[in-house]
Amino acid sequence: MSIIVFTENRGGKLKKSSFEAISYAMNIAENTSKPVVAVSVGELGDDELSALAKYGAAKIVSVNDPAWKSNDSQAYTKLMAEIAEKENADTFIFSHSNEGKAIAPRLAVKLKAGLITNITGVPANFSPLTIKRKTYNGSAFQLMKIKADKAVLTINPNSCDVVEKPVDVNIEKFSPSVAGDGATKVENVDVVTGKILLTEAPIVVSGGRGLKSGDNWGMIEQLGEVLGAGLACSRPVSDEGWRSHEEHVGQTGKIIAPDLYIAVGISGAIQHIGGVSGAKVLVAIDKDKEAPIFKYADYGIIGDAFEVVPRLIESLQKFKA
């Protein structure tokens, strides 16, 4: 039996979450003696694919075919089932990303596998597979156990370690017998490229209503730039149109788990915290010492953002120099 990892790519590059998924699979592999097979769908060169072997994927099944562009979850499920049979797989690892969430539950039904989503840590037990997942918007965790002979798992980005375990690479070009052009017809794509993906960013700088207006975001962008960070905001900020909806984090926006989250002028409502409680370190800058955000923060500065942020940028520039 083998373990299959579904990898994801963007702009010709593998996503960091794919390496996390490989590392997750390697952890199971070492405890169950099953080989790890990575699946890649997309136009990736062998050099890029080889990066997967650095984390332990000894075999890579690559579907590099323009017919597989539309990202139809029904077709992808059939593809994964076909590869599962070929590789004799019983464990399937996805990222808990838009793509992973679209395919993994379908695959679980198709293969009659037990499904555990929203995973935040390595297995507590390998036989039967027992894993901790996030629930109640980060207010709690839940242990789940697989009862079926097969398991499908989705791992939260930025919540499990990436470990280097280099192996020799074996890339197999695969032509599936199932059709890739499914029922979903992509008519138009509108992508803002070049930006740091919020869900993958190790550092995120975020602004709230305390900043008063979208015109005041220059210093947030600058703070983001010195840190190489992704940018986020609270819901009212995106509702007001101060910032794009892409940046909205929280229960109703994106859910992120960076190493460092810096909240500026954000009060820390429970629905906001629901999107960022996975952050390893939370810094809050707010002028109100009673703001609930300080209950969740590791480091806090009570002060006027318009004075503190420029000063912090200077300190960081000094530190980076």
Partner 1 sequence: MKILVCLGNVPDTTTKIRFDGEMKNLATEGVQWVINPWDELALTRALEIKEGSGGKIEKVSVVNVGKADAEPTIRKALAIGADDAYRIDADPSDAYFIAAQIAEVVKNNNFEIIFAGKESSDFNGSAVGSMLAEFLDIPSVSAVSAFDFPDGKVVLKRDIDGGKETIGIDTPFVTIVQKGISINPRIPAMRGIMMARTKPINVSQPVAVDTLVEYETFELPEAKAECKMVDPENTDALVDLLHNEAKVI
Ligand X SMILES: Cc1cc2nc3c(=O)[nH]c(=O)nc-3n(C[C@H](O)[C@H](O)[C@H](O)COP(=O)(O)OP(=O)(O)OC[C@H]3O[C@@H](n4cnc5c(N)ncnc54)[C@H](O)[C@@H]3O)c2cc1C
Map the footprint of ligand X across residues 172-191, applying CB under 6 A.
none
Choice between 53 and 198, CB closer to partner 1? 198
Task: State the nearest-atom distance from the C-beta of 290 to ligand X, in Å.
Answer: 8
Q: Is 110 in the site for partner 1 (CB under 8 A)?
A: yes
Window 284 to 313, contacts with ligand X (CB under 6 A): 286-288, 291, 304-306
Asked if residues 263 and 236 have their Cβ atoms less than 8 Å apart, the reply is: no
Neighbours of 10 (CB within 10 A): 13
Asked if residues 130 and 124 have their Cβ atoms less than 8 Å apart, the reply is: yes
Q: Which residue has the tokens 């994927």?
A: 57
Name which of ligand X, partner 1, none residue 288 binds, using a CB cut-off of 5 to 8 Å depending on partner kind.
ligand X
CA dihedral 112, 113, 114, 119 (to 10 degrees): -140
CA 115 to each of CA 6, 150, 247, 318: distance values in angstroms, whole numbers, following the listed order: 15, 9, 29, 48
For residue 180, give both structure tokens: 């890739």
| Phi, psi angle pair for 314, to nearest 5° | -60, -45
Task: State the nearest-atom distance from the C-beta of 295 to ligand X, in Å.
Answer: 12
Task: State the nearest-atom distance from the C-beta of 60 to partner 1, in Å.
Answer: 21
According to CB under 8 A, which one of 157, 208, 253, 265 is a site residue for partner 1? 253
Determine the interface stretch with partner 1 among 18-26, 85-93, 163-171, 247-255 (rule: CB under 8 A).
Answer: 247-255
Determine the interface stretch with partner 1 among 34-42, 51-59, 85-93, 195-203 (rule: CB under 8 A).
Answer: 195-203
Q: Is 126 in the site for ligand X (CB under 6 A)?
A: no
Q: Is 139 in the site for partner 1 (CB under 8 A)?
A: yes
> How far is Cα 35 from Cα 55, in angstroms, rounded to an integer?
13
> How far is Cα 38 from Cα 32, in angstroms, rounded to an integer?
17
Q: How many residues does the chain have?
A: 321
For residue 279, give both structure tokens: 């952050």
Binding mask 245-274 for ligand X (x = CB under 6 A): -----xxxx-----------xxx-x-xx--
Q: Is 173 in the site for partner 1 (CB under 8 A)?
A: no
> Which residues of this chain interact with ligand X, rule CB under 6 A?
208-210, 234-237, 250-253, 265-267, 269, 271-272, 275, 286-288, 291, 304-306
